[in-house]
A and B are shown apart, each in its own frame.
Chain A
Amino acid sequence: MIDIVVQALVNGLVSGTLLAVPAIGFTAMFAVLRFPNFAVSGIATLGAFAGYLAYGAGLQMAGSLVVAFVVAGAAGLLFDEVAHLPMVKQGALPAAIASIASGLVLENLVRLGFGNDPRGYDRPIARDIRLGDIRVSPQQLETMGLALALMLAVFAILAFTRIGKAMRASADNPDLASLKGIRPERIAMIASFAGMGLVGVGGMLLGLDSAIDPLTGTRILLSIFAAAVLGGLGSVPGAVLGAFLIGMAEELSVLAVGSQYRAAVGFVAILAMLTLRPRGLLGERAY
């Protein structure tokens, strides 16, 4: 019994690491653009398919992730500029609703191109690594390592570079930042591109484990949103913490109540958080 629980926690750790990538993107976009961008569902799917095509064309895993990042980032930027940012002047809610529509558009564009059939990445088969009764596949370790490297890069960029500092300043106080020559609209574009790039990479990483189809992103949307809310919307470390908690809670829920209730974990987490501590575990800190 203990073994099963530990195995579930290990699986949760792996899926939490992967989930952290799009959750960081989602929360960073919220910090700068001030609306929840639910187009992450469609963008994650787009990223997964872009990475799938690149991988199928013979690129290595890291290279395919770059393709997923760039394609998803470009699409995210396009949709923000055309559909969401004109709405955000009217308030966060109109922009959020517009982003749901964008997600549907993207999902169906992917369906138009690839159909509904699930597709696998055709990765080489490898034997699981065993530690006692706990199993981890080398592929899980690889994707986890890539996700961790990506997160470290994001933290380093936010902490040490001018762009990162400008983003944090703009998220904290856009007016004051603009007095120092930080252009809010340029920061918004960078946040759109990089945030959605991370979401696209996240879609691919989460798709690697199983198969991908046009609903891949929609299935992880709730987990991404729950992770961000749990950690505190707008907080990057919060999103990482939230992703780990959601990842593990989802795996444990499969043991406790069965896999058909897995999706309920996100809802319960959001409900509990908004009731007990609305600003999230780490409050709102831009990084």
Chain B
Amino acid sequence: MTAEKAAGTGPATTPSKPKRASAKGHQLAGYIFISPWLIGFILLTLWPIAQSLYLSFTEYSLLEDPVWTGTSNYAKIFTDDATFTKSLSVTFMFVLFSVPLKLFFSLMVALALNKNLRGMNLYRTAIYFPSLIGGSIAVAALWRNMFGLDGYINQVLAWFGIEGVGWISNPDTSLGTLILLNTWQFGSTMVIFLAGLKQVPQELYESASVDGAGKIRKFISITLPMLSPVMFFNLVLGIIGSFQTFTSAFIITKGGPINSTYMYAMFLYEKAFKHYQMGYASALAWILLSIVALLTLINFAASRYWVFYESDGGKTK
């Protein structure tokens, strides 16, 4: 399934049939083939990651050399930084609402697009189309204009005699607007759901029909369990992605008004590149990493109770 393919790229798929003697040679060849990626990964990803861990224990203004300060960054973050607490709670709120909303919405769209109708490909393309421009700056700028005080949303509301609010300039509604934007960017999640739906064997539905199951019964007893690995994949990626939300907050609201949309990633970015505290920002990055890793592990632990893998003989518990 999609989830396994994405997680297990690389040498796992190389055939391991040949004789023992040449196995080593094959291994070497494998490594040579992936070496461009491997070198890039070590130099451009692993090395900076290690460096950022080092920097998180320093005071580093970018303009001067880093100075080792031990755990003082972490101590300050946990004991004496109201902005950290604020941005973390803003981000948690965002994740808490936007992930389930997006999952639900994209599943509904995927179900609608899974019907065998004439011209369905056209509908699919049309609905996926906005995702091509995706989470870009242009979309964020568009959103800003739509939800501005004199934006299109309020103009439309005015036709019905409703006086709109400043969606993004009011601390009570700004975060909700960003959640809405995130939900609207459902394209790729929806496509993954759609692919998952296509893989559900038709025989299951047919035999359920023979047994007299209705539409809802079929959805609950066949579609949902068969889709659960895909759901799980989307959930994990959705949580990771939402924790890193940056563009929309940065472009649309600048984190404001009064920190109401001050996402963790934006806090981290401003610490590093606006206030010249790269050491502190690195510590923030490692804390975010720990949080996301922990949540992902919890997710995996919990998945045993609800994700259904056909190949495991249908063991869910």
Q: Do A and B come from one complex?
A: no
